[in-house]
Structure 1
Amino acid sequence: MPLSLFRKKAARKGEVSEVQLFTAYDLQVEQSEDPEIDDVAVGLLLISARSTNATLSEKIAVVIEGDKVMELPTLADAFIHLFALIYALHLSYPKELANTFDFIQKVLMGLDEGNMRPRV
């Protein structure tokens, strides 16, 4: 509900952004084996598929600059690795997700919590 309110407000101001941090991709539904991630600066991609014996397998891929860098079994592991890679590679947060990443970094992860911007 709150996310839809923010999108409505942004649409009225002309600031609509479709940038997402997390995307799901189902190998059974999609036509291609590779998802369209060329325009993703940083993010996480849930890849799910059903095997021949009807078991569901899911992996979380860390995406940086349009490439799958690594695949991990859990969302928590992928999220921590995403932040570690951002720091190790000295990447900037994507402009559209800067406040989201700042909130996660400073509030949820407790890193550098004394220096919060007013928006965070």
Structure 2
Amino acid sequence: MDKTFALRRQEVVGEAPMIADFKTRWPALFHVREVSAEFKRITTIHLQSTFFSRVDAHSANLMKAYAKKGGVQGRKIKTIMAPMTQDVDEGAQTAIAETVFGIFVIRAEGAEPGDNPVDVGIVLEGVEVMSNLGNVSLAVVMLLGLVYALNLSYPQELRYTFEVLQKIILELDGHKLSNKAQVLKTLLSR
């Protein structure tokens, strides 16, 4: 993958192929190790260790900020975070096919919220691009890595979430923040 980086990057940036086509052409990229390596080739930053260590550093203040959210914003956050509960065979496959950008978590029937999931994965353009990630935290990191590797734009409804992950957590291009991200950065520095 290292030797073909320039070719792959030219294809991603210049041609912007559909995810299904790109996954067929470059299947090795859609593995945890390769997403991390591709992210490092693009940014020179170790994706997983940097992300998790910085989330750990901010976690207490993030929890405080999230707990204070109420009103329209609080309801919007809860809606985005709400799990979908559907029949694994039919509903999940339909939901995956209709998802443009997301993380899926499949739990065994009758599982409690704290139980380990059966599967955790990533969907882009209705295509399951990664699965068996084990937990949502790793899925978030891999999704962020795929955004960079595939030169994707953040979905409009999640733009601030990904701006925070990119600019505050990973400190990539962190000097240009939206007002909302700046407010959160100020809260986290207290």
Pairwise TM-score range, normalised by the shorter structure: 0.5 to 0.7
Whose Rg is larger? 2
TM normalised by structure 2 equals: 0.46
Q: Secondary structure at the match of 1:60?
A: strand
Percent of aligned positions that are identical: 27
| Alpha-carbon distance in structure 2 between the residues aligned to 1:111 and 1:57 | 32
Q: Which residue of 2 aligns with 1:13?
A: none
Task: Indicate the structure with greater helix content.
Answer: 2
How do 1:16-35 residues align onto structure 2 when only pairs under 5 Å count? 20=80, 24-25=83-84, 30-34=86-90, 35=92
Quick one: higher RCO (CA 8 Å, sep 6+), 1 or 2?
Answer: 2
- Which residue of the other structure, out of 151, 154, 159, is the alignment partner of 1:98? 159
| Alpha-carbon distance in structure 1 between the residues aligned to 2:79 and 2:106 | 18
Unaligned runs of 5+ in 2: 1-66, 110-114, 182-190
2:167 matched to 1:111?
Answer: no
Aligned length: 106
C-alpha spacing 1:91/1:19, structure 2 compared with 1 (3 Å):
farther
2:141 matched to 1:77?
Answer: no
TM normalised by structure 1 equals: 0.68
Deviations 1:43-86 (A, max 9, x none): 11111115xxxxx5512111111222111112222111101111
CA RMSD of aligned residues (A): 3.1
Q: Which residue of 1 aligns with 2:72?
A: 6
Unaligned runs of 5+ in 1: 11-15, 51-55
